[in-house]
Amino acid sequence: NAGVTQTPKFRVLKTGQSMTLLCAQDMNHEYMYWYRQDPGMGLRLIHYSVGEGTTAKGEVPDGYNVSRLKKQNFLLGLESAAPSQTSVYFCASQDDGTGELFFGEGSRLTVL
């Protein structure tokens, strides 16, 4: 049972480039989340989804777009990367019954 898988694990971008982070879960969870972790800032919610075809903004959505075309996948896109988006990104899916969040291992993104 893989749980939550994030790809890629590491990426270096130049300012202005675009990229997509993929999150896949095999637990049939409805709710999925994207967070970023920065020193001294904790985990901040970027976007989330309450089911296939739905997305909503979190605390820090600017500069990011998301899509949930399939229930098991939640994509996070950066259309024009900025150095301020250098961070570690975590995807999570939520157990509908217990409310527990299951996290991926993280994706470290550096924007030069």
Partner 1 sequence: DQQVKQNSPSLSVQEGRISILNCDYTNSMFDYFLWYKKYPAEGPTFLISISSIKDKNEDGRFTVFLNKSAKHLSLHIVPSQPGDSAVYFCAATPGTYKYIFGTGTRLKVLA
Which residues lie near partner 1 (CB under 8 A)? Answer: 4, 31, 33, 35, 40-45, 48, 50, 56, 58-59, 90, 92, 94, 98-106
- Cβ distance to partner 1 smaller for residue 79 or 100: 100
Task: For the CB of residue 46, give the shortest distance to partner 1 in the complex, in Å.
Answer: 12
Pairing of strands 107-111, 10-13: parallel
Task: For the CB of residue 15, give the shortest distance to partner 1 in the complex, in Å.
Answer: 26
Which residues lie closer than 8 Å to 28 by C-beta, 6 or more apart? 71, 72
Burial letters 20-40, b for 16+ CB under 10 A, else e: ebebbbeeebebbbbbbeeee
Which residues lie closer than 8 Å to 40 by C-beta, 6 or more apart? none
Structural tokens at position 84:
């301020």
- Cβ distance to partner 1 smaller for residue 10 or 18: 10
**DSSP letter assigned to residue 98:** T
- Cβ distance to partner 1 smaller for residue 14 or 28: 28
Task: For the CB of residue 66, give the shortest distance to partner 1 in the complex, in Å.
Answer: 14
- Cβ distance to partner 1 smaller for residue 3 or 16: 3
Task: For the CB of residue 90, give the shortest distance to partner 1 in the complex, in Å.
Answer: 6
